[in-house]
Amino acid sequence: MSLKEEIERRRTFAIVSHPDAGKTTLTEKLLLYGGAIHIAGAVKSNKIKKTATSDFMEIERQRGISVATSVMGFEYNDIKINILDTPGHKDFAEDTYRTLSAVDSVIVVIDVAKGVEEQTEKLVEVCRMRNTPIMVFVNKLDRDGKDAFELLDEIERILKLKVRPLSWPIGMGYNFKGVYNIYNEKLYLFSGKDKQVREEPKEIKDINSIELDNEVGKAADKLREEMELIRGVYPDFDQNAYLDGKVSPVFFGSALNNFGVQELLECLINIAPWPKPSFTFEREINPYEEKFSGFVFKIHANMDPKHRDRIAFVKICSGIFLRNTNYLHTRIGKQFKFSSPTAFMAQKKSVIDEAFPGDVIGIHDTGNFIIGDTFSEGEVIHFKGIPSFSPELFKYVENADPMKSKQLAKGLDQLMDEGVAQLFTRSMNGRKIIGTVGALQFEVIDYRLQHEYGATARFDGVDFYKACWMTGDKVEIEDFKKKKFKSMATDKHGRDVFLAETSYALSMAQDNFKKIQFHFTSEFSK
């Protein structure tokens, strides 16, 4: 198969949502239909000791939420699908933002009862900034919830998405009879049982036929009225408008009951984009270029606690990645050869010989890589859009067990490289400060230090408003550092950071030092 054919048969997308909208359950059912797994985990069941395939960290199993992005790949109808299941909790949004830099499209999951929620709004805003094509899956139709038209209005008003329903629910909750697939003009009836194999759909080209009445009874007239309204209100679906991020197709179903999932999957492989050009600070990278390039968008330590391995997740952007081939690590200017690159099914890994644009591979990391690193066949390039955000919560971290100081140092070093938080060393006293964008991250760090590294840490609160990186006039920066010595620190990479105690202190610094630029992400440094 040629490089062009390999590229055009790939679909790499993320699934995002507010917590508990059913994102991880939808991921599992997509894997189920793709034949990647044979039984779905009961994500939140305490009675059944199974857990979601994509939730592989122990703390995720215990809490029933996703706190790290998982990567899963499988084949479906000769299409290579790469799913990135992201954390829903707002405290882990930074991981999700970086993941969105590695996908070509997104599925947004919305709970039919709760509608559009806060975290969904923030994530869609990021997608909209990138013009990322978005599909919407309205989940949990087996429960009572908001009227379908009301939900579409809410999506358009709050998420500022122009929508076009491609399927339509017939009832909901106790009266949920099924979904009419507008895209392929077929009727899918809901049996109410958690079946692993769906019934064959009924093809209904004409919804005015008596066949519809025979299948859904009194609900047929209401469906006809609603379909007429849809045709009157929404323009015909335009695939190019979807690919440009200007219109979002909407599907309805129940992921828990395997309903509407396969229809979503089959439409996705037909209309979703294959890998598109990526952008570096130097130039645009076309996936069809012969030479390999890719970037690290995530690092994860201890995916397999038995082996204490550390994996860097690399998105392939152009050319063909080959095992045991030298590639340039552009940040440090050295050549690296990877003897056992892996493909993922959550925590399960298999060694691969080659990978193509759109694929996500794992490479073993002994501490050489950081998020945002670029690999190429020799060209010095730096990919855009993979920032570290300015933390808003800060705590001193101290060693609580003098016998485990090495374990704590190693744990902090590796966890900070993952991007779950940032480590600063305060200039005036050398104390270590952890900065995060969410409170739950401290709990995760504490848990992982204990259970993965055998280290015990003590956290003490410290009041800072924001961490800011600085660029500009070197003389003025040195003067600023002397005057603000108590508020200065360095990050893990030795860069100067201003820890502003209040918003007023930050605005005063900006007013008084005009030749200094204060940055709230670290991407400026690339």
Task: Indicate whether 227 and 260 sit together in one domain.
Answer: yes
Structural domains counted in the chain: 3
Task: Indicate whether 361 and 402 sit together in one domain.
Answer: no
Task: Indicate whether 351 and 483 sit together in one domain.
Answer: no
Residue 8 covered by a domain: no
Given 271, 297, 327, the domain boundary residue is 271
pTM here is 0.76
- Angle between the 93-100 and 118-129 helix axes, to the nearest 10 degrees? 30
Domain holding 336: CATH number?
3.40.50.300
51-60 pLDDT, tens digit per residue, is 444 444 454 4
Query: Which residue segment(s) compose the domain that 143 sits in?
Result: 16-66+101-271
Task: Indicate whether 48 and 157 sit together in one domain.
Answer: yes
Task: Indicate whether 52 and 175 sit together in one domain.
Answer: yes
Beta carbons of 459 and 431 less than 8 angstroms apart: no
Domain holding 445: CATH number?
3.30.70.3280
| CA contacts within 13 A on the Cβ side of 424 | 30
Task: Indicate whether 112 and 242 sit together in one domain.
Answer: yes
Residue 74 covered by a domain: no
Task: Indicate whether 267 and 282 sit together in one domain.
Answer: no
Locate all alpha helices (DSSP H) within 377-438, ordered by sequence: 405-417
Beta carbons of 221 and 210 less than 8 angstroms apart: no
Beta carbons of 166 and 249 less than 8 angstroms apart: yes
Residue 85 covered by a domain: no
Beta carbons of 505 and 468 less than 8 angstroms apart: no
Q: Is residue 89 classed as helix, strand or coil in its secondary structure?
A: coil
Q: What is the DSSP string of 291-322?
A: S-EEEEEEEEE-SSTTTT-EEEEEEEEES-EE
Predicted local distance difference test score (pLDDT) of residue 413: 83
Tokens 């998420």 label which residue? Answer: 159
Hey, which bits of 192-304 come out as E strands?
202-203, 248-252, 278-279, 284-285, 293-301
Nearest alpha-carbon partner for 20 in 130, 143, 125, 201:
143
Task: Indicate whether 404 and 372 sit together in one domain.
Answer: no
Distance between first and last Cα of the chain: 36
Residue 311 covered by a domain: yes
Task: Indicate whether 230 and 259 sit together in one domain.
Answer: yes
446-480 pLDDT, tens digit per residue, is 888 888 888 888 998 888 998 899 899 999 999 99
Predicted local distance difference test score (pLDDT) of residue 372: 85
Longest dimension (CA), the chain: 83
CA 225, chain centre distance (Å):
38
- Say which amino acid occupies 46: N
Task: Indicate whether 34 and 136 sit together in one domain.
Answer: yes
Given 325, 348, 376, the domain boundary residue is 376
Residue 9 covered by a domain: no
Predicted local distance difference test score (pLDDT) of residue 202: 74
Low-confidence ranges of the chain (pLDDT < 70): 34-70, 86-96, 192-201, 301-309, 344-349, 385-389, 522-526
Given 271, 304, 336, the domain boundary residue is 271
The token duo for 23 is 């994102």
